[in-house]
Amino acid sequence: MRLFLLAAVLLGSCAPVRRGWDAGWSERAAKDRIMLVRDSPETLGHRRLVYQSAAHPDLGVFLNSKGMPDFIAETSSDDRQYLILYYLDSGRAFAARTRRSPGTVIDFAGPYPMTERETKLLRELQENSRRDG
């Protein structure tokens, strides 16, 4: 599943969001995307984590414990939301699953070792964002 999410949309979601709040912070903008997490300039990935942490306090506790990931992937089904949090320096990823209703508990799994291919691809995206941003 992680590899599918990684391959789904690698490029368009890594650029910083340059417009204001109207640039699409919605779930629809984040669905099936790999998103860079950076707070300055703020990226969609960072904004989605802030939003998800407010909606699901367990995620905020997790992020306070582990720190912000370098990338996230977000997708959903009828009644579930899924996040994968990628930590490049440790080479590990965590999966998170919750119901779509705000305030519901998030189930975490992992850490899972990232593949060499995942790590290489995400590092390249990170470098490209530095040059572009």
Angle between helices 57-66 and 44-55 (to 10 degrees): 120
pLDDT at 120 exceeding the cut of 60: yes
Least confident piece of the model among 33-37, 71-75, 101-105, 112-116: 101-105
What range does the domain containing 109 cover? 2-132
Phi and psi torsions of 125, nearest 5°: -65, -40
Residue 78 is predicted with a pLDDT of 83
**Domains in the chain: how many in total?**
1
pTM (predicted TM-score): 0.77
Mean pLDDT of the chain: 81
pLDDT at 121 exceeding the cut of 80: yes
DSSP 33: E
Residue 100 is predicted with a pLDDT of 81
Q: 52-75: buried (b, 16+ CB within 10 Å) or exposed (e) per residue?
A: bbebbebbbebbeeeebbbbbbbb
